[in-house]
Structure 1
Amino acid sequence: MIWPFTSASKKDDESSRQSVAWDESLNGTDWQHYKDPRNWVPTLLVTTTVLASLKIYRSYLRRIPGATHIKPGFFRKRSLFGRVTSVGDGDNFHMYHTPGGRLAGWGWLRRVPTKKTELKNMTIPVRIAGIDAPEGAHFGRPAQPYSTDALAWLSSYILGRRVRAKIYKRDQYDRVVATVFVRRFLLRRDVGLEMLKRGLATTYEAKSGAEFGGLEEKYKAAEVKAKEKKRGMWGGEPQFFESPRDYKTRMNSEESKTNNAK
């Protein structure tokens, strides 16, 4: 009996339904559809492109706000590109990381901050590898001769400029130790080497923790040449010369004696 308001076609559909085994249903799938490259190659290409783009961004285009954010795997394998925002001493400065440089829009689409409030906790402190500049006045200690000259020269050479830092490690002061390069008159200059040539720094003399990035012989040769020509700090009488390392050792010894006497 057909109920009112129902059709015979609906009854026929219900009677035609039959249970089908799972494996029969699977075998009945049209696998030829998936064998056609036009159906899966576009999806594969999009997925691969997205994953590759994320990897490139995380490794090369993501801005690093500070030294503590640098992954350990970056040291000795990567270099950082950025603009020098301040120079603290004759051998260290702060850099605002600008990954990708102008190609990534820095300087014309993306602005590098200039105010101290904007730069706070947003820059990477860099210690120039392989050199030791004369010590300025710090923590009640008197300044060394030529410390102001070294600071003035370094400021004029790199402040406000784009530099590339080949990073090696992070020191005890959370600074990145790096060989630093800057473009001057279209030529790439090694900043540490230029300071040595001008007699504004010595090669790093600490017994432990020294880092030259494979340039130790080149640096020492530049130091010897500057010494022979009496450039910068080498211009005075040799008997009165005190290297930055000797100065720090003497200051530490005097402060230790003073503290023990109290």
Structure 2
Amino acid sequence: MLAGTSPLFTPAARGLWARRAPRYAAALALPAWALLLAMPVMTTPSACLGGSALAALASPARLANFVPALPWASHWLAMVCAMMVPLALPMLTLIEARSLPSQRARALAAFLAGHVTIWFTAGALFYGVALAAVAMPTGVLMVTAALSFAWHMNPLRARMIMACHRTRPLASGGVAGLASAGSFGAGHGLHCVASCGHLMLPLLFINHGALLAVTTMAISLHERGLRRPDPRAGALMLGLIWALALI
């Protein structure tokens, strides 16, 4: 690389951005990050609790503010697009390489639709867990945190992380190609939810900013980059995030 040349403008970087997969991921992730940064605090589900999950227990009337689905849906979808879509970039690149040129755009869209749909469905379940946890005695929320931490340290979760790297045969074109891309996206999303969903759950209980979202994404990136996933890599940060949720 020539002195004074930005890495963004090297031939390798230009070749990367010439592909569809990085552009599709960026088209979803960059606006989502901008939305998370610009979104008013009161549109987050956790903000409806008045600052923390335990604070809601002192004033049950606040629970009524936790129910509206539109603010939650927009916030969760933004988090998924900002944090989880970039993690799927290797699989998007694979989809692009194995699809016919005339169908690459549709195949990428099918993969993303399957992937995001799984995460959105998981978000609805997490939302229900969050609502139930704050409506019950304090101990239930603490048990939820303990179960989240226990799953983080479970060896089975390490297998789920490795499964996020698993590929499958894909049809190259036609309806079968779109169906296999969508199915691949959904399957990849299931493995991602199993390995990273518990990292997203505590974010529903606190008025988190972009910093905690970046922290969660960094934990996921670090663990996926390890040859043998080590749960200790993110255990401390997960504990700190849950501590913020309980305070």
| TM-score normalised according to structure 1 size | 0.26
Larger radius of gyration: 1
Query: Which structure carries more strand by proportion?
Result: 1
Query: Which structure carries more helix by proportion?
Result: 2
* Higher RCO structure, 1 or 2 (CA under 8 Å, sep 6+): 2
| TM-score normalised according to structure 2 size | 0.27
